[in-house]
Homo-oligomer: A and B are copies of this chain.
Amino acid sequence: MINIDNALNMIYKETKKLGIENKDLLCSINRVLAEDIYSKDNLPPFDKSSKDGYAIKSNDTYSCSKENICELKIKGVIKAGDFIKDTLKNGEAYKIMTGAPIPKGADAVIKIEDVQIKEDKLLVFEQIDENNNIIKFGEEIKIGDLAIKKDSVIRPVEIGALASLGYSNVGVYKAPTVALIITGDELVDITSTIEMGQIRNSNEYSLKALVKSLNAEVLSLGIVSDDKETLKEKIKYGLEKADIVISSGGASVGDYDFVKDILKEIGADIKFSSVAIKPGKPVTFATFKEKLFFALPGNPSSLITTFEKLVKPTIEKIMGKEISNSEEFPVVLKDDFQEEVGREKYVYVEIKKTNGIYYAYKVGSQCSNHLMTMSRANGIIIIPKEFGNVKAGEVFNGKFIFRK
């Protein structure tokens, strides 16, 4: 039985990126850029007005004031998208819209709110500085400048930035394909009525949702009965077709838990088969050539916990993401919790903030098959392995979980 940090280090040592794929811009959301993005343009590609107003020569206004009102001749209008060839001369002004190019000869824009109009004349009441309300050519970025660094996560703002630079598709790190093998003769499809001894196959659904929420690909191999040869064939098939194989169930020490035997027989390299966490102790991690294999426990909430703690960071690392460990903070227990010394324990609770302090409330049995408890939880408290029973009023680290 190894501790969680050692387990993660052993997994990370075997984890690497899978190469680069080209994605349509909008489909690249939440993926990680696998290339530095350089600008092929100057942005803005021309001096432009940041306001609705009048393009002028600033030196026409040096003596303007409320007492000495200046008059300029309005020559026309420049809309966004227009480009006029005329050169502005002293004594002249062009009405100009936000985003429109500054005409040649002009060096400032005076806001529409600050002027008055008399027939075709513009009345100016103040001195305007050079470059006033002008966004300069290339001020945002110049040709050849690094725009977005490799390894950046593509958020909506990067989608906008890439679009403005003319990138309609981009190179991102490949997402792994994750094969799912659900073991257990007691499992029936979720639409079935359950007969004596049976339970519904909820783990396949939890796993599909978890893998898809990371933008990885799912290859579900369905329910496999507790028959060694069938299971072996499925595991070999999964390792051939996918980058990661996850089995659920069959990982503890029962007579019909064949996964470890099969991994040995096919020559997989078993790195560990027990992790000191609760829920979730019986987890096997193995490698087979370049492929990764996780045998997770069949209890629904052990499955989700071990996925979150071990598989999720692995998938994120493969896809080039920083590991998204949401931040831990001190939480005051509002209830007692009976636990055992020996493993790091994740207790599913409701965390509420009152007067700036976080409190943890019991939401149900921590028995490892209780999905209902997890479903009522918005966070966990982490009870270190040295601690057993803990009491209301004691303080442990906690964090929010399953948040979007």
Contacts and interface: CB of A to CB of B under 8 A. Distances in A.
A82 interface: yes
A148 B364 CA distance: 13
A67 to B, nearest CB: 27
A190 B209 contact: no
Given A198-B81, A254-B98, A256-B97, A205 B163 contact: yes
Residue of A79, A155, A191 with highest tally of chain B CB at under 10 A: A155
A50 B367 contact: yes
Contact of A372 (B147, B159, B206, B257): B147
B163 A206 contact: yes
Nearest to A41: B194
Nearest to A305: B157
A379 interface: no
Contact of A99 (B147, B153, B184, B375): B184
A25 interface: yes
Number of copies: 2
Interface in A299-348: 299-301, 304, 324
A374 interface: yes
A192 to B, nearest CB: 8
A372 B140 contact: yes
Interface stretch (A164-172, A236-244, A383-391): A164-172
Given A29-B209, A163-B190, A157 B256 contact: no
Contacts of A161: 202, 371-372, 374-375
Given A298-B98, A369-B135, A44 B199 contact: yes
Chain A interface category by residue count = 35 or more
A194 B45 contact: yes
Contact of A186 (B80, B194, B198): B80
A143 B301 CA distance: 21
A22 to B, nearest CB: 15
Nearest to A203: B160
Interface string A69-105: 0000000010111110000000000010111110000
A210 interface: yes
21 contacts: A26-B209, A26-B212, A46-B197, A52-B252, A79-B185, A80-B186, A81-B197, A82-B197, A83-B197, A98-B252, A140-B370, A152-B375, A156-B210, A156-B402, A159-B209, A160-B209, A161-B202, A162-B205, A163-B205, A166-B200, A168-B191
